[in-house]
Amino acid sequence: MSAQRHSDLIRAEAHRLGFAFVGFARAERLDSEASKLEKWLQQGAHGRMAYMENHFDMRLDPRLLVPGAKTVICLAFNYHNPARQTDPDAPKISQYAYGEDYHFVVKDKLKSLLAYMQTEIGEVNGRCFVDSAPVLEREWARRAGIGWNGRHTLTINPKRGSNFFLAEIICDLTLIQDDPIRDHCGTCTRCIDACPTKAIAPEGYFLDASKCISYLTIELRDTLPPEFSDKMDNWMFGCDICQDVCPWNRFSERHQEPAFEPHPELLQMTRKEWVELTEEVFARVFRKSAVKRVKYAGLVRNIRG
Q: Are 188 and 247 in contact (CB under 8 A)?
A: yes
Q: Which amino acid is at 112?
A: S
pLDDT digits 0-9 by tens, 47-93: 989 889 888 999 999 999 999 999 999 999 999 999 999 999 999 99
Alpha helix positions (H), the chain: 3-16, 31-42, 56-60, 102-120, 137-143, 190-194, 213-214, 241-244, 271-275, 279-285, 295-304
pTM score of the predicted model: 0.95
pLDDT digits 0-9 by tens, 266-288: 999 999 999 999 999 999 999 99
* Residue 118, SS3 per DSSP: helix
Catalytic residues: 131
Residue among 211, 184, 168 at smallest CA distance from 74: 168
Q: Region 168-186: what's the mean pLDDT?
A: 97
User: Can you give the pLDDT at residue 1?
Assistant: 66
Q: Region 167-193: what's the mean pLDDT?
A: 97
Q: Region 104-122: what's the mean pLDDT?
A: 97
C-alpha distance from residue 10 to each of 46, 106, 115 (Å): 35, 16, 11
Identify the band that residue 172 occupies on the pLDDT scale cut at 50, 70 and 90. very high
User: Can you give the pLDDT at residue 196?
Assistant: 98
Compute the distance between CA of residue 45 and CA of residue 287 in angstroms, rounded to an integer: 32
Q: Which helix (H) or strand (E) holds 170?
A: strand 164-171
Least confident of 40-49, 94-103, 233-242, 258-267: 40-49
Q: Are 185 and 144 in contact (CB under 8 A)?
A: no
User: Can you give the pLDDT at residue 230?
Assistant: 94
Compute the distance between CA of residue 186 and CA of residue 148 in angstroms, rounded to an integer: 12
Q: Region 131-146: what's the mean pLDDT?
A: 95
User: Can you give the pLDDT at residue 48?
Assistant: 86
- B/e letters for 129-158, b = 16+ CB within 10 Å, e = fewer, are bbeebbbbbbbbbbbbbbbbbbbbbbbbbe
Question: Which residues are CB-neighbours of 142 under 8 A, at least 6 positions away?
Answer: 148, 149, 155, 180, 181
User: Can you give the pLDDT at residue 55?
Assistant: 87
Compute the distance between CA of residue 50 and CA of residue 202 in angstroms, rounded to an integer: 25
Residue among 256, 251, 265, 243 at smallest CA distance from 81: 256
C-alpha distance from residue 203 to each of 41, 160, 188, 271, 297 (Å): 19, 24, 10, 36, 36
Compute the distance between CA of residue 241 and CA of residue 221 in angstroms, rounded to an integer: 22
Identify the band that residue 305 occupies on the pLDDT scale cut at 50, 70 and 90. confident
